[in-house]
Amino acid sequence: MNPVLVGTVGLGLLLALLLIRVPVAFAMFAIGFCGIWLLNGFSAAMGLLSSETFALASNAELIVVPLFILMGNVASATGMSRKLYDAAYAMIGQIRGGLASATVIGCGGFAALSGSSVASALTMGRVALAEMDRFNYSPRLSTGVVAAGGTLGILIPPSTGFVIYAILTQQSIGRLFMAGVLPGILLLTLFILTIMVLCWIWPEMGPRGPATSMAEKGRAFVGAVPILTVVLVTIGGIYGGIFSPTEAAGIGAALVIVIGAIGRSLTLATFWQAARSSIVTTASVMLILIAAHLINPFIALSHLPAHVSDILVTLDLGVYGTLLIILGIYLVLGCFLEGLAMLVLTLPIFMPVVLQLGIDPIWFGVLVVLTLEMGLISPPVGINVFIVKSVARAVPLSDIFRGVMPFWFAMLICLLIIIVLPQLTLWLPNMM
């Protein structure tokens, strides 16, 4: 049996299962196990199923996943993310479109805690949409801002996307976190510029909010100090080499729990709910990772990575031509598939090509993660769009998609800037 044919058919079946909404982990388990069985026998498939499960479950680096998820859930449950949003609103809410810009800043800050785009969109949607509706913002702008702002969660560290990428490609989690800082700030700035341009062309989209006094600004900033401190300690500690990403995750989770307990905003009931939600999310991520380590050997046995590498090298498109093709594939797949599923499905195929061409894997990781973000707001699937729709039930889905399109183009500009200026991504990691 031709291994390449088996691999191609297997990936086609996996794509079909994902499109009909079979859970990612179960689809990969089925295809990976059956593929290894066909190519290497039943004993090999059973052996990999047990060994890879144990290897992943005992990987100490993976503790960053539940700890960062817990940190974000506790921050949300105690209202810390709301205080960050309130501070941003107090500073710039009085300018035209300022409430939308404050929402983007709030999304960026919450993203730095949760590491999850879906969590950012859901949490900030509950906080910000009602406020923007109260000040007569265009529903198209308000929902577009929340859906796009939520995508910052996968780029601004600590990012679950970077953790998964690092584990699948055996790269440094800390270097990937640092590589996402400047691109994340650039994207956040481009989002704010997009809001300013939209409100300049159509002033009715973002009316001015009420002016706030210096005393009110000061009080709002003081309220956000605890959460800003957590972000600075965790990210600054990794950058300064004071502690590893795993230690940073533990310190960050401990800090938000202590701050919530001291401020009496964290009760046993809210902590139990945050911990329970963190366990469920962690279990989902772990299942996907274990399934990924089952399907990766199947892809390797099928010789698909070598086959794809030979095709791309034969085309002789050069580094940038090949890179644009790979990112274009991610962009198309992002319209249909969830981000983690794409990473698991494609990295075993593309990474050998990337390394053979001498492309920096850290730089490539940021490009891939940013392209995945674009998929989160791309029709027809656009997970973040459906998350916002679940909060803003009165807004038509078509209006939300039209609202996110200016931000989609802002993300495209950000992607092109990072391609042209790779040092924007690599400067901080190289300074570590």
Write down the pLDDT at residue 194: 94
pLDDT score of 363 more than 90: yes
pLDDT score of 337 more than 70: no
pLDDT score of 8 more than 90: no
Write down the pLDDT at residue 421: 92
Write down the pLDDT at residue 102: 81
Distance, in Å, from the CA atom of 241 to the CA atom of 255, rounded to the nearest integer, reads 19
Per-residue pLDDT, averaged over 392-411, amounts to 88
Question: Is residue 115 very low, low, confident or very high in pLDDT (cuts 50, 70, 90)?
Answer: low
Question: Is residue 425 very low, low, confident or very high in pLDDT (cuts 50, 70, 90)?
Answer: very high
The mean pLDDT of the chain is 81
Range with lowest mean pLDDT among 120-124, 145-149, 176-180 = 120-124
Write down the pLDDT at residue 1: 66
Identify whether the C-beta of residue 206 lies closer than 8 Å to the C-beta of residue 185: no
Question: Is residue 416 very low, low, confident or very high in pLDDT (cuts 50, 70, 90)?
Answer: very high
Backbone angles phi, psi at 430, to 5 degrees: -75, -20
Single-letter amino acid, residue 140: R
Distance, in Å, from the CA atom of 192 to the CA atom of 176, rounded to the nearest integer, reads 25
Which token pair is 84? 């960050």
Give me Rg for the CA atoms of the chain. 22
Per-residue pLDDT, averaged over 195-199, amounts to 91
Which token pair is 200? 């300049």
Model pLDDT for residues 25-74, shown as the tens digit of each residue:
788 788 888 888 888 888 888 887 777 777 777 777 778 778 877 887 78
Range with lowest mean pLDDT among 4-13, 211-220, 280-289, 367-376 = 280-289
Write down the pLDDT at residue 183: 92
Which residues, 6 or more positions from 400, have their beta carbon under 8 angstroms from its beta carbon?
Answer: 140, 143, 144, 147, 385, 388, 389, 392
Report whether the peptide linkage leading into residue 158 is cis, meaning its omega lies within 30 degrees of zero.
yes
Higher pLDDT, 184 or 337: 184
Per-residue pLDDT, averaged over 355-377, amounts to 88
pLDDT score of 196 more than 80: yes
Which token pair is 222? 């003081």
**Could you tell me how far CA 69 lies from the centroid of its own chain?**
12
Which token pair is 284? 């989902």
pTM: 0.75
pLDDT score of 191 more than 90: yes
The residues spanned by each domain of the chain are 62-431
Which token pair is 327? 């990112």
